[in-house]
Amino acid sequence: MFSLNGTSFTNNSLSGVSRCLNQSSRRVSAPMVVVAAVNSNGKPGDGSVSVLVENALTESPAPVEMEVKSTVTGGVQDVYGEDSATEDQSITPWTLSVASGFSLLRNPHYNKGLAFSERERDTHYLRGLLPPVVISHDLQVKKMMNSIRKYDVPLQRYMAMMDLQEMNERLFYKLLIDNVEELLPIVYTPTVGEACQKYGSIFRRPQGLFISLKEKGKIHEVLKNWPEKKIQVIVVTDGERILGLGDLGCQGMGIPVGKLSLYTALGGIRPSACLPVTIDVGTNNENLLNDEFYIGLRQRRATGQEYSELLDEFMYAVKQNYGEKVLIQFEDFANHNAFDLLAKYGTSHLVFNDDIQGTASVVLAGLMAALNLVGGSLSEHTFLFLGAGEAGTGIAELIALEMSKQTGIPLEETRKKIWMVDSKGLIVKSRMEMLQHFKRPWAHDHEPVQELVNAVKSIKPTVLIGSSGAGRTFTKEVVQAMATFNEKPIIFALSNPTSQSECTAEEAYSWSEGRAIFASGSPFAPVEYNGKVYASGQANNAYIFPGFGLGLIISGAIRVHDDMLLVASEALAEQVSQENFEKGLIYPPFSNIRKISAHIAAKVAAKAYELGLATRLPQPKDLVAYAESCMYSPAYRSYR
């Protein structure tokens, strides 16, 4: 038994195939076939070069005589009956992986396009299937960037990148790694938001697993349909709260796909170890339900026991298929499910919610870095949030934990430095009975306040953080109020995509007379104000989750602990240089993201070992070097 690109062939399967059949009879001998290098568990490995099985053995058997008759139309005989079959008859969809060139060029894991060498073109039957020129990997990147830049519409660039990923995986990741600052807004926020909105129209081929209510009771078997078996990271969404765009149902698949592209490009996780999943329980979005191009279940969202049972089945099927150490990242679940899922599975699975924990970690890192510009310690500042959902309360809790860690003050006391405004106004104790459980720790003694601007004037915060998903809510009056009692007001407008940002970079700088320390969730172009150029920071979760996940994987961690999030924040803040501070930046440039991710991974792994949650023993002496050595490289491999 041997493996052909992950497909097992036994005595009962097709044992040979003619590489070329013409109208006359001819001798056909078994051709060379491309076989992925197989490891001990029978699974192809990403980092191994292809292995060739040749028919040119010392004692080669006599070639098989095969008589092929011409059809009336001059084509090859209809051996399997596809041409003569009617619509109500079944045919067998035979697929073979042979080194006849064409299948190799169609395999995104091994395709190198015009970078195949002269020898590889001879060995793998590629002559005539490619133009004669041989170009380097770097020239391919240059050529692709030239093509992508010709598109004026970001969604067109997104689609071009997705097409490339399905055609040449290593070129896709090298392109993204080498041009991360330019392409990150294309493969992820803000462009991915529009891609999700139009996913039904632009859907071409599956990039992940769709698990719907139709698969209830069969999820274990459905997971086995995914071709890769050694999964290390799963990003899963139910599409109910995609960015700041609301319920997009099944079309939220763009989020797991985008996140996992970043896990590979920025965190070095092998592409074959990543699995995007969308749980489809319906949608309450009437526009989608009435859209003829919608690709999901056409029903209202399932809730209660039906929803819980499907998620339960999924979570335990994942552990049964992939083991204890697979990281499951929850993404864009609505508030009422996000907190419950994290609490429910946090003690039994390796789970991480990027909206709650990842956002919190990256924002805390930005605040710690900002202290270098405004002075004081974290506990000396007062925080006001607009938005008390999973992102806002997650950030607030991590800030309170860090203050407690630094000062030794009980968590209940450090929470009193943090205030929140939701859709009904300032969260105060008089509203306690009506509050959701995750808002109650932030209800303090204060008279009710309805408007954000009045809350700002009353609380006088030094830090204003927006996580509301409501665009342009940091009005001129709000920003000017912040600037009246702060020399350098810290303003974070975190909601995504750009259209939902609480204010723009230009508004923050101009309304504060150039004094604001500003960061946003989606990127903004540099702003010129009074002859000075301001480059705003981006509090992008991509700074944290790729390195965080890598740290969990290299340590073999079995659970996520809050202390891991704190050290990830500290590690990111340490990467901001004095040169960055002089430019007003509180986050390092993305051009160094893989080094940053390795640094974060090392700190997270070290904490896992310290807490006794690591299983990969013994602990490497130099965790940074070890993390870097484990990172996936998109460089082409030579094929024998």
Domain spans of the chain, in order of start: 101-187, 190-353, 358-539, 543-630
Residue 127 pLDDT: 94
Residue 2 pLDDT: 40
Distance (Å, whole) CA 423 – CA 511: 24
Residue 31 pLDDT: 36
Cβ neighbour number for residue 476 with a 10 Å cutoff? 12
Q: Which residues contact 273 (CB under 8 A, 6 or more apart)?
A: 46, 228, 230, 231, 232, 233
Among residues 110, 158, 199, 259, the one annotated as catalytic is 259
Cβ neighbour number for residue 201 with a 10 Å cutoff? 11
The domain made up of 101-187 has a fold known as Hemocyanin, N-terminal domain (1.20.1370)
* Catalytic residue list contains 188: yes
Residue 11 pLDDT: 36
Which helix or strand (DSSP H or E) is residue 171 part of?
helix 169-178
Q: Which positions make up the binding site for (S)-malate?
A: 241, 496, 540
Query: Which of these CATH numbers, 3.40.718.10, 3.40.50.150, 3.40.50.450, 3.40.50.720, describes 358-539?
Result: 3.40.50.720
* Catalytic residue list contains 587: no
Domains 101-187 and 190-353 share a fold: no
Residue 435 pLDDT: 95
Residue 103 pLDDT: 87
Rounded to two decimals, the pTM is: 0.84
**Locate tokens 């719907």: which residue?**
212
Beta strands in 89-242 (DSSP E): 209-212, 233-237
CA dihedral over 531, 511, 522, 357, signed as positive or negative = positive
Q: Which positions make up the binding site?
A: 241, 331-332, 355, 496, 540
Return the CATH number of the domain spanning residue range 190-353: 3.40.50.10380
Distance (Å, whole) CA 175 – CA 144: 8
Q: Which residues contact 120 (CB under 8 A, 6 or more apart)?
A: 112, 126, 638, 639
Please give the single-letter amino acid code of residue 598.
Answer: A
Residue 83 pLDDT: 52
Q: Which positions make up the binding site for a divalent metal cation?
A: 331-332, 355
Stretches where the chain sits below pLDDT 70 are: 1-100
How far are the Cα atoms of 400, 474, 511 from residue 533, in angstroms, in the given order? 34, 22, 15
Q: List the end-to-end C-alpha distance of the chain, in Å, as a whole number.
A: 21
- Cis, bond preceding 190 (omega within 30 deg of 0): yes
Rg (CA), the chain: 27
Residue 244 pLDDT: 80
Among residues 158, 188, 263, 345, the one annotated as catalytic is 188
Cβ neighbour number for residue 561 with a 10 Å cutoff? 16
Cβ neighbour number for residue 271 with a 10 Å cutoff? 21
Residue 100 pLDDT: 60
Residue 617, phi-psi category: left (phi > 0), alpha (psi -120 to 50), beta (remainder): beta
Residue 81 pLDDT: 52
Pinpoint the alpha helices (H) of 22-153. Answer: 102-105, 118-123, 137-148
Does 543-630 carry CATH code 3.40.50.10380?
Answer: yes
How does DSSP classify residue 357?
Answer: I
